[in-house]
Chain A
Amino acid sequence: MAETSKPSTYEAVIGIECHVELKTESKMFCGCPNAFGGEPNTKVCPVCLALPGALPVPNKAAIEHMIAAGLAFGAEVPAFSKFDRKNYFYPDMPKDYQISQYDMPLTQGGVVRYWLEDGTMKECRLTRIHLEEDTGKSTHAGSGDGRIAGSTYSLVDFNRAGVPLMECVSEPDIRSADEAVGYLEALRRTLQQLGVSDVKMEEGSLRCDANVSIRPVGSTEFGTKTEIKNMNSFRSVHRAIESEIERQIALVEKGERVVQETRGWDEVRGTTHSMRSKEQAHDYRYFPDPDLVPMEIARELVEKVRAALPELPLSRFERYTTRFGLDVKQATQLVDNLPLAQFFDAVVAASENPKQATNFVLGDLSRLANEHGKPVHESAVIPAHLAELIALVEAKTINSKIAKELIERMWRGDGSPKAIVEREGLAQTSDPAAIEKFIDDVLAANEKSVTDYRAGKTNVMGFLVGQVMKASKGKADPALVNGLMKQKLEG
């Protein structure tokens, strides 16, 4: 925000509303498959197409997903909940009302705790998470760019209509674009690791809007907010919020006022633009859906779901940073990759050496995984073998060069590194007499280098050490080689 004139005198106040598609086999109120993509209008039935006479019946798994999400954020799961109808007309909404939740959502309150890149911990309160159904999808035609503005007609696909959707509304506790992204990342990794959603922004299973306002630092009142839409990646959320904050500050600095409106993010221009001015007050005519009966959420069910919760990303992050001493970046990398983190945990458990485990898992193994396009946990390397390797390195049985070779071989499926070392005699040579012999041979064969060294060209040392390592087939203890070589050359 370098170009902002007085950045320090304003702070942003941001609240985020997310719609997250839940991962279930079937849709929210019917048995059609809940799956991304596919030929248009092939995953539809009387219920999700709102044919005359069809009735909704709620999906038990979606309700349990909601409870799990609520508990993960410490929300209250009330004893009683119900579905309401939100009435408005839209061509991709088959019933022309959405089954949603109005005054008795499945979860209330809660807090999302998240960290920033520098490790600062932040928190954002949740207002509520409620359960509803997704709409179909319209493709706008005739405008050339697929956008609604200027289109002459639209094509509707109802495959997505009726997919269970959680709407997660935050309190306006977010103060910057960085925090917004930190919050969204926490939401994403938590919901994903709970198994309640794929949370893929690119597939639309996570969609979010941001309410942005600014106020002078120190003020407790809220400024006029705008609602930003059309952000389709975390990067665009970041850019959109920064751009909107700047726009609002510039307005206020000029003595103008922010207008309450919905603004669309333009990815290409990098700015927000007005979509509709002055919200015409929507009259959604919410009322309890008479096709559905209320939910009484048994405490036993809540406890059952609670007991089945996995270790949450936040606790994993804290474990890695405080107990294992990982830095924020390393810990984040692991926390965001659950199978890798689970592999890592197994290596730590077997080796009791988090530092080496981090080096190997995030270093060599991750590099190999990248090169081969195969995740670590699906490779031939098993945690027990990596723990063996760590033990061999720690005991100085092998040097790091051999270790690197071994890990490549383990990836190729050669199995236990200990067995390889024993079978092939790869243990490090630490016997000074043997090493001295190698050195003597090398010095004898490279007289010119020896002369050069003694004439002050000390950089030939590396070459000579390399020759020794080569002669020892890499098994010589490099530290010992260095020491002895120096003695010989200078002695």
Chain B
Amino acid sequence: MSSEKIDVRYVAKLARLALTDDEVARFGAQLGDLLEHVNALAKLDVSQVDATAQVVESRNVERDDIVRPSLDRETVLNEAPQRQGGFFRVPRIIAE
């Protein structure tokens, strides 16, 4: 298990969180601390163990292909931070 320091700025970028320099330092230290604790897991031998994604086993939960009512558009757009006509409006999208 890794004990590297977290590149907080890179992670914050992935998570789309603007951080101040202060926050980078503070979160960096706190996350480092947490990782110390979490690294205890390295002591567990999990080589023969399957991963658990869902603790209660169920399979094939599906719905029939049936149309159900959609939401009223005004109700939906009333919550929009910015709308234009029937659309949600967002600032300029820049290709990555």
Contact = CB atoms under 8 A, between A and B. Distances in A.
Interface stretch (B19-27, B36-44, B60-68): B60-68
B67 to A, nearest CB: 5
B5 interface: no
Interface in A100-159: 138-140, 142, 148-149, 151-158
Interface stretch (A27-35, A192-200, A394-402, A428-436): A27-35
Nearest to A46: B71
A58 interface: yes
Contact of A285 (B14, B53, B77, B90): B14
Interface stretch (A169-177, A290-298, A356-364, A480-488): A290-298
Contact of A30 (B59, B68, B77, B88): B68
Contacts of A44: 70-71, 73, 76
For the complex, would chain B's binding face be called helix, strand, loop or mixed by DSSP majority?
A: loop
B55 to A, nearest CB: 10
B70 A63 contact: no
B2 interface: no
Given A151-B92, A154-B92, A293-B54, A60 B67 contact: no
B4 to A, nearest CB: 16
Interface in A15-62: 24-26, 30-33, 39-46, 49, 57-62
Interface in A442-467: none
B92 to A, nearest CB: 6
A155 B87 contact: yes
Contact of B16 (A82, A89, A158, A280): A89
Interface in B44-96: 53-54, 58-71, 73, 76-77, 84-96
A283 interface: yes
Nearest to B94: A148
Of the listed residues B53, B65, B96, the one surrounded by the most CB atoms of chain A closer than 10 A to its CB is: B65
